[in-house]
Amino acid sequence: MKLRVKLGLIATVAMGATLLGLNPISVTSQQSTTGVAYAATTINAKHQGLVGDGATSNNTALQAMIDKWSDNVTIHVPKGTYLFDAGNIKLHSNITFKFDKGAVFRITGGQRVNFVYPSPEAGYDGGISNVTWQNATFQGDNTSAGQSVFTQSIHHAQNVNFDKCVFDNAESPTGHYIDIDGSHNVNITNSVFTGFNGSQDYKEAIQVDYSNKKAMSYKNAGDQYDNLPSYDVTVDNNQFLPVSKKSGQVQSYAPNPIGEHVIYGHGAAGIIHDVHFTNNTVVDPKPLLGNGVATIHFKGISNLWITGNKFINQHVLGSGNYIYLYNSEADYQMTNLNITNNTFTNVNPTKQYIYLDSSTAQNPMTDVTINGNKATTQRSIVPFVNSNFDLTGDSIKIASNSVKKQKATTTTVKPKQKITTTKVNKNAQKFKKRKQTNKTEKYVSGLATQHAQLKSNYKTYSLYNHIHGHKNWNIMKFDWKKIKSQRVYIDMRATADSGQWYRIRFSKNATTKYWIRKGALDFDKITVEEYNRDLNLMKVYPVYSLPFNDSQLAKAKGTTADISERRVTITHRAKRTDSNGQVTTYYQMDNGLWTRALAFDLDS
């Protein structure tokens, strides 16, 4: 009899759902602890007013939907691009967002949306609970209009979950993707965070903070604050990546992954604790060179695990410190700090990998375990761990950490000379045997990826197997009509009695090379001026003997990662204008070498 009652209730709920435009299959029965059945409702966001055309604003529709379905609801977001304008979306307890593949929340035009987790009361139970985001994508952009932003402002909340989400190029320059304030049981797993264009460099994608108005990304009217710390935060198996150009160079740095910087009320209401940062990958975050900053920074924390992560730099130079733990409170002892089994690949810190900083040497951190970490570097080796207190105490376990210096390796090694097997072509051009008539010939090689444009009258020029006047020089038979582009690639120039010459190819990877007179080529316009400024190197860029594409041909001189000093003096600036009118800026350092201006922190 009890079974019939339950089935009847389910049938009634399903019928009501059909009338509301819901899918009855999505309505499920649950048994409460008191034996009363209730319905967990799934609604289709498009059926309830969201428009995924990439053009229609969805702020009002989403807020109306959340307000209407006020308890125990799953919002199913079908494939589509849902545009949002500047504003705030207030959430409630017991809500789950499930995104289909290809479903995107989009913000643009330098605007900002805050997802607000209200806390009308103080205390750990003062906010909302049981909020889940699954497969959600929050996408912004960084244009001349500014950085477009999505932020999760989580206050006094509990049981908040993000799984398989994407936070793409939408972090506030002065804030965070996820702001965890006085909250607990927050889990961020299997997700991707990209891009940070911070005006405040130390800001993290995930901020673990306190219930304090100053800490909030969004200050919700009526919220109550009490300085309670966040705890039980798990960040596992996520990626923190840069926004990259087609060339692979960094357009926007990877976000600093996690941390915090302020203790409110000297920790009278408690200190941040129980934070797990595990099995994540961090690639190319912005270098932070100051003494008290780092890629991962915690100020006042206990029960911390930084374990099994991969920290990698590919196109960006290293920070001063990579991990920095700081105790600013003389009356609080940081304890149970674990940094284990992480790999650091070419992060190349200038100071040390890990720094432990206590307010006084008489108040050391305890139960510190730092072991099993492996670092490889192309630069000089710096200490793995340093501190301002004694690291030999009984509760300090620092062992089995290795830092190895290794040279840069490439995936392929090409022979110095091309080795080919060719068949004899009976119709091949026959060359005349000539004596050398040039008394002087000077050859200068350069980086083979440099290029120039053929002038409009290029068809009046001949191509040679070698420069005129060299032994056995000859004019090559060549059909100008078969070339697809007037851009040619150059790897050598020559000055001789017979004039000035360049060796060219008609594509970057072509193996056949020709010599042509200088008059056939138009080089990029390069203007050089004196320029005196001290700047910090930040990104890995090629270094040249001259500005790239200079008619004298620049030679490759390694990369900025090979330069021992991070603070360098600029002596000259060159602006290169190509045939399309695009301008690229290069700086000459006081060591005489040139690199792209983008390699430097131009705001320093």
Of 276, 231, 229, the residue nearest 257 (C-alpha): 276
Q: Is the pLDDT of residue 23 over 90?
A: no
13: confidence class by pLDDT, cuts 50, 70, 90: very low
Residues 6+ positions from 16 with CB-CB distance below 8 Å: none
Q: What per-residue confidence (pLDDT) applies to 40?
A: 78
Q: Which two tokens stand for residue 419?
A: 């080795």
By mean pLDDT, which of 12-16, 148-152, 159-163, 283-287 is the weakest?
Answer: 12-16
Q: What per-residue confidence (pLDDT) applies to 246?
A: 84
Q: Which residues pair with 206 in a beta bridge?
A: 178, 258
Query: Could you read off the pLDDT of 378-391 as tens digits, one per residue?
Result: 878 899 999 999 99
Of 347, 298, 288, 367, the residue nearest 320 (C-alpha): 288
Q: One-letter amino acid identity for 147?
A: Q
Q: What per-residue confidence (pLDDT) applies to 433?
A: 87
Query: Could you read off the pLDDT of 541-596 as tens digits, one per residue?
Result: 999 999 999 999 999 999 999 998 999 999 999 999 999 999 999 999 999 999 99
Q: Is the pLDDT of residue 293 over 50?
A: yes
Q: Are strands 556-559 and 542-544 parallel, antiparallel or unpaired?
A: antiparallel
What's the rounded Cα separation, in Å, for the pair 32 and 143? 51
Q: One-letter amino acid identity for 426?
A: K
On the CB side of 2, CA atoms within 13 Å amount to 4
Query: Could you read off the pLDDT of 414-440 as tens digits, one per residue?
Result: 221 222 233 444 455 677 888 999 999
What's the rounded Cα separation, in Å, for the pair 178 and 238? 14
**Order of strands, sheet of 441-454, starting from the edge strand that comes earlier in the sequence:** 514-517, 499-505, 487-496, 441-454, 521-522
Query: Could you read off the pLDDT of 340-353 as tens digits, one per residue?
Result: 999 999 999 999 99
Q: How far is CA 328 from CA 213, 228, 370, 385, 418, in A?
A: 21, 18, 21, 19, 62
Looking up tokens 């501190």, which residue turns up?
387
What's the rounded Cα separation, in Å, for the pair 592 and 65? 63
Q: How far is CA 397 from CA 323, 339, 357, 516, in A?
A: 17, 10, 17, 67
Query: Could you read off the pLDDT of 92-128 as tens digits, one per residue?
Result: 999 999 999 999 999 999 999 999 999 999 999 999 9
Q: What per-residue confidence (pLDDT) applies to 407?
A: 66
Q: What per-residue confidence (pLDDT) applies to 405?
A: 87
To 10 degrees, the CA torsion angle through 112, 118, 122, 124? -100
